[in-house]
Amino acid sequence: MADCLRKNLLIGIGHPLLDMTATVEKSFLLEYNLKENDAVIMSDNHKNLQNRLLERYEVAYTVGGSIQNTLRIVQWITELPNVTTFFGSVGNDQYAKILYEQALLDGVNVRYKYISGEPTGTCIVLITGENRSLCTNPGSSKYFDFAHLLTTDNQFLLDTAKYYYMGGFFLNVSIETVRGISKLAAKGDRQFLFNLSAPFICYQHRDVLLELLPYVDVIFGNKSEIEALSSCCELEGSTIDETIVLLSNWKKINSSRLRLVVVTQSEEPVLVGIDNRVLQFSVPSLKNKIVDTNGAGDAFVGGFLSQFIQDQAIETCIKCGIWAASQIIQQIGCTYTGKANFQI
């Protein structure tokens, strides 16, 4: 364990969700106008989706929520309790108890805000072959507010952390919180790490993202999300590599650090843009071992951050991200067994 590891090094703020995972036919997706490898917020079109799913398929329940999953992976790899702290809101129900107990068991310092009268959020994960489609009912997770972070205890945690990690989905919860955290990071010379979450987030919150981007030290996204962001920024890169370089060079509040742009492409190489160049990292084929790709992106970021917060080389961060994702896709949901055996 590196000497630089300590408690409360990394703070994540996001949606605590209970994942409900089932393997279904493509026709089931079509019934609810859902697409493979997409993520949507539950709407009126999906009112009876959960009931139909429970009636027709075997459903597995696992801890979910992208940011929380990523922190759990960081804990798994670093092995030091409470290196990470998680903020989010849940209901006063059994689902919240399951999430809390599992996160504690995984070593995360959990700082939930409890919302009376609202259920804990859920994410329905529909697996078709090697693909997955997500439909989220945010429930109580959408009632988080910035004031929860301003209590004396929580303010202390914010002040003593070095890294803040958030995702685009949270822009649908509290723009004030995302904006406040980005500015707090800049003010305290902390690193603000941001996951784009989904292409529609980039279009839905274009103006806010353009405001936030100068504060972001590391951008995470898949190829579709990066292309959506570049469109919102009106960048003119003719290739994905050119686009990545343009995003990495976008204006930045803290000019003492270069911006990293980390792009995943499923089984294609991971791309990293920094300092006018793009690095490529191959991804080993595991086609015969894939069980569930949901959580692969969360695990990749978790593996990356487990090394990044220890000041390891970018190559090591990426390799650990790829390794972590390769472990998770062999399980249902973002779950793992035994000790992490990643070696630099």
Query: Confidence class of residue 3 from pLDDT cuts 50, 70 and 90?
Result: low
Residue 163 has pLDDT above 70, yes or no: yes
Residue 2 has pLDDT above 80, yes or no: no
Query: For the segment 289-311, what is each residue's pLDDT rounded down to a tens digit?
Result: 888 777 899 999 999 999 999 99
Query: For the segment 23-78, what is each residue's pLDDT rounded down to a tens digit?
Result: 999 999 999 999 998 888 899 889 899 999 999 999 988 888 999 999 999 999 99
149 close to 178: Cβ distance less than 8 angstroms: no
Question: What radius of gyration, in Å, describes the C-alpha atoms of the chain?
Answer: 19
Query: For the segment 119-154, what is each residue's pLDDT rounded down to a tens digit?
Result: 999 999 999 988 889 999 999 999 999 999 999 999
Query: Is residue 129 situated within a structural domain?
Result: no
Q: Residue 220: name the closest of 268, 265, 175 by CA.
A: 265
Distances (CA, A) of 173 to 110, 230, 328, 330: 19, 23, 28, 32
Print the domain residue range for 266: 10-17+64-121+139-328
Query: For the segment 194-233, what is each residue's pLDDT rounded down to a tens digit?
Result: 999 999 999 999 999 999 999 999 999 999 999 999 999 9
65 conformational bin, left if phi > 0, alpha if psi -120 to 50, beta if neither: left
245 close to 227: Cβ distance less than 8 angstroms: no
Query: Is residue 128 situated within a structural domain?
Result: no
Q: Active-site residues: which are they? A: 298
280 close to 318: Cβ distance less than 8 angstroms: no
Total domain count, the chain: 1
Which CATH number characterizes residue 74's domain? 3.40.1190.20
Query: Is residue 260 situated within a structural domain?
Result: yes
Distances (CA, A) of 320 to 115, 287, 308, 342: 36, 19, 10, 7
Query: Is residue 55 situated within a structural domain?
Result: no
Query: Is residue 250 situated within a structural domain?
Result: yes
